[in-house]
Chains A and B, each alone.
Chain A
């Protein structure tokens, strides 16, 4: 982890309540797709943890949803403004386990970290399938970007306005894949857990204090002991997860 000042180069609405934020700054501390940053906002005490969509050596792209006063304040910021961020947080996805044809499952704003992961796996020569779930067509984003990155894209919307009607698990039916990676709201992750037939990894959310493992604010119980979502996660392996309904 490092604390860095980034400069906003773009902060744009790309779907309903969904923004893409492009920033220039040092990404030397980032080591894996699926990590997150923690953003300081004027007048807000706690930083805002936002997962990384993708990054290169000098820039990072974040996709976030406006859900409260903090993210609305972030959405009002313009190109040229600066952001104080802690970067390189969390473990990120382990790409070494993907096998030859991994399935990437993203729901809502949880689709964002799948994009960087998709590009990395395609670059490794993997045959990547992406299953995306959104509430509606107007909340969907990055469908073309995933396709351009070289993935086979499957789409589901709850209202049926794009892709198949239903949850993301509907789009996954009868698929064959070597491994899976999933990120999205908790009910989706539980449904995915019931639907998948291989090993895989899930990325979780929790209210955080620090974001770097000091405060124990985001601990969860797993089969391999208690873990801090911010530091030992946010990515956990399927085999170690204790789902809330089974506790």
Chain B
């Protein structure tokens, strides 16, 4: 029997399949569809210190093999997540979760991470320093090594939980950002966040998205994500989560061959709500067909 188990910075997962932050809410909608406990883990909706409504609508645009979103980190705030969302999720999901923490300042990141640090249910903190929807032109803490180092150094002081940093592809050299995060104490790197993109409505001759630009995701960005994982695998020694355009078991294996220890499935959840279940069920068969006995043994094997 194919062995799908992996280890992520000390956290044992039954399989490497994790719904990506922002595409799975806090699990509620999907718990009505299938037993969430088949998942490796769940990356929760990006959470900030204050409740946020997010950006004006339209927030969604379609692209060839993908979509643009400009949700803008709509979330009920960290206090509400801890008091309500985590207890609700614990009724239907009995494994450790990945808390995705967003913010506008170093202080906001440390505030939220200090609270997340005290939650038994949270197995990994994923630092979202790369949301393209928060600042004009997509600037963020993941845009330069110095700002990435600053926020990771500060957060490292307030949590002993495994700390993964989610990086932006919208940079010249993602490896130097990844190295800065590793040097500042990150236990892992999650890559990639969405690509900054836009569409224009031909009838109105204006951008489709109210905020003009948004984050491009979906199968179209899979090669970009794979490349980033491949490059960063050679630049750092901490484990990687590969995310971007994954929609089938073959994509999972390809991402792990590039160097990912686990993967997150994002936009595919929104259009094929059973996609994570389908991937998990087909993974052993696809592994067999490629003569793969254990997923742990193929991590980075393409190098």
A binds B: yes
Stretch in contact with the other chain, from A102-110, A131-139, A216-224: A216-224
Q: Which of B57-99 contact A (CB under 8 A)?
A: 57-67, 69, 71, 74
20 further contact pairs, Cβ within 8 A, besides A44-B62, A45-B67: A3-B273, A3-B274, A46-B271, A207-B57, A207-B208, A209-B59, A213-B28, A214-B29, A214-B30, A214-B270, A215-B71, A216-B22, A216-B45, A216-B54, A217-B57, A217-B59, A219-B54, A219-B59, A226-B53, A231-B29
The contact size tier of chain B is 35 or more
Within 8 A of A (CB), among B203-255: 208, 218-219
Q: Is the CB of A218 within 8 A of B271?
A: no
Q: Contacts A3-B273, A3-B274; is A214 near B65 (CB within 8 Å)?
A: no
Interface size class of A (residues with CB under 8 A): 20 to 34
| 8 closest residue pairs by CB, A with B | A210-B270, A217-B60, A207-B58, A216-B74, A46-B62, A207-B60, A209-B60, A213-B29
A47 and B29 contacting across the interface, CB-CB below 8 Å:
no
Q: A46-B271, A212-B29 are in contact. Are A220 and B65 (CB under 8 A)?
A: no
Given contacts A210-B271, A226-B74, contact A218 B67 (CB under 8 A): no
- In the complex with contacts A212-B29, A217-B60, A217-B71, A86-B66 CB distance below 8 A: no
Task: Please name 27 pairs of A and B residues whose Cβ atoms are closer than 8 Å in the assembled complex, sorted by A.
Answer: A1-B33, A3-B274, A40-B271, A44-B62, A45-B62, A45-B63, A45-B64, A45-B67, A45-B219, A46-B62, A86-B273, A207-B57, A207-B59, A208-B60, A209-B67, A210-B271, A213-B29, A215-B60, A215-B69, A216-B22, A216-B25, A216-B45, A216-B54, A217-B59, A217-B71, A219-B53, A226-B53
Name A's interface SS.
Answer: loop
Please give the residue numbers on chain A whose beta carbons come within 8 Å of chain B beta carbons, in ascending order.
1, 3, 40, 44-47, 86, 206-210, 212-221, 226, 231
CB pair A206 B273 closer than 8 Å: no
Chain A contacts of B120 at CB under 8 A?
A: none
In the complex, what distance in Å separates the CA atom of A212 from the CA atom of B28?
11
Does B269 have its Cβ within 8 Å of any Cβ on chain A?
yes
CA–CA, A209 and B63, complex, Å: 12
CB within 8 Å for A214 and B25 given contacts A209-B270, A219-B53 = yes
